Amino acid sequence: MNNTIIETDFNFPGQKNVYHGKVREVYNIDDKRLVMIATDRISAFDIVLPRGIPYKGQVLNQLAAKFMEATSDIVPNWITDVPDPVVAIGYLCEPFKVEMVIRGYLSGHAWREYRDGKRTICGVSMPDGMKENDRFPEPILTPTTKADKGHDEDISREEILAQNLVNESDYIKLENYTRALFQRGTEIADEKDLILVDTKYEFGVYEGSIYLIDEIHTPDSSRYFHKEGYQERQDRGESQKQLSKEFVREWLMENGFQGTDDFVNSVSERYIELYEYLAGETFSRSDVSEVMNRVEKNINQCLEGQPA
Judged by DSSP in three states, 140 sits in strand
- Same domain? For 285 and 156 the reply is no
* CA 297, 298, 300, 305 torsion-angle sign: positive
Among 195, 215, 243, the domain-final residue is 243
Sequence-ordered strand ranges (E) for the chain: 15-20, 24-29, 33-38, 43-44, 47-48, 79-84, 87-91, 94-95, 98-105, 120-121, 124-125, 135-141, 144-145, 194-206, 209-213, 222-226, 242-243
Q: Is residue 8 part of a domain?
A: no
**What letter would DSSP give residue 283?**
-
Q: Residue 2 falls within a domain, yes or no?
A: no
pLDDT string in tens for the chain (308-residue length): 458 999 999 999 999 999 998 889 999 999 999 999 999 988 776 667 778 889 999 999 999 999 999 999 999 999 999 999 999 999 999 999 999 999 999 999 999 999 999 999 999 999 999 999 999 999 999 999 986 555 679 999 999 999 999 999 999 999 999 999 999 999 999 999 999 999 999 999 999 999 999 999 988 889 999 999 999 999 999 999 887 666 676 766 676 656 677 888 888 888 898 899 889 899 999 999 999 999 999 999 999 985 44
Q: How far apart are CA 134 and CA 197, in angstroms?
A: 10
Q: Could you tell me the CATH number of the domain that includes residue 66?
A: 3.30.200.20
Is position 249 within any domain? no
Give Rg (Cα) of the chain: 19
> Are 205 and 212 spatial neighbours (Cβ–Cβ below 8 Å)?
no
Number of domains in the chain: 2
The reply to whether 102 and 230 lie within a common domain is yes
The gap from C-alpha 173 to its chain's centroid, in whole angstroms, comes to 20
Distance CA(200)–CA(31), nearest Å, equals 26
Phi and psi at 189, nearest 5°, equal -65, -40
Residue 256 has a pLDDT of 62
Burial class of residue 274, CB neighbours in 10 A (0-12, 13-18, 19+): buried
Asked whether 95 and 124 are in contact (CB, 8 A), the reply is no
Instruction: Output the pLDDT for position 307.
Output: 47
Same domain, 75 and 147: no
CA distance 291 to 65: 20
Q: Distance of alpha carbon 107 from its chain centroid, rounded?
A: 17
List residues bridging with 121 in a β-sheet: 124
Does any domain span residue 209? Answer: yes
Would residue 248 count as lying in a domain? no
Calpha distance 177→271 (Å, rounded): 27
The CATH number given to whatever domain includes residue 221 is 3.30.470.20
For the chain, the distance separating the N- and C-terminal CA atoms, rounded to the nearest angstrom, is: 38
Instruction: Determine the structural domain holding residue 72 and report its residue range.
Output: 15-93+262-305
What CA–CA distances, in Å, run from 173 to 75, 110, 152, 199, 298?
Answer: 10, 24, 22, 18, 36
On whether both 121 and 203 belong to a single domain, the answer is yes
Residue 301 one-letter amino acid: Q
DSSP string, 82-108: EEETTEEEEE--EE-SEEEEEEEES-H
Predicted model pTM: 0.90
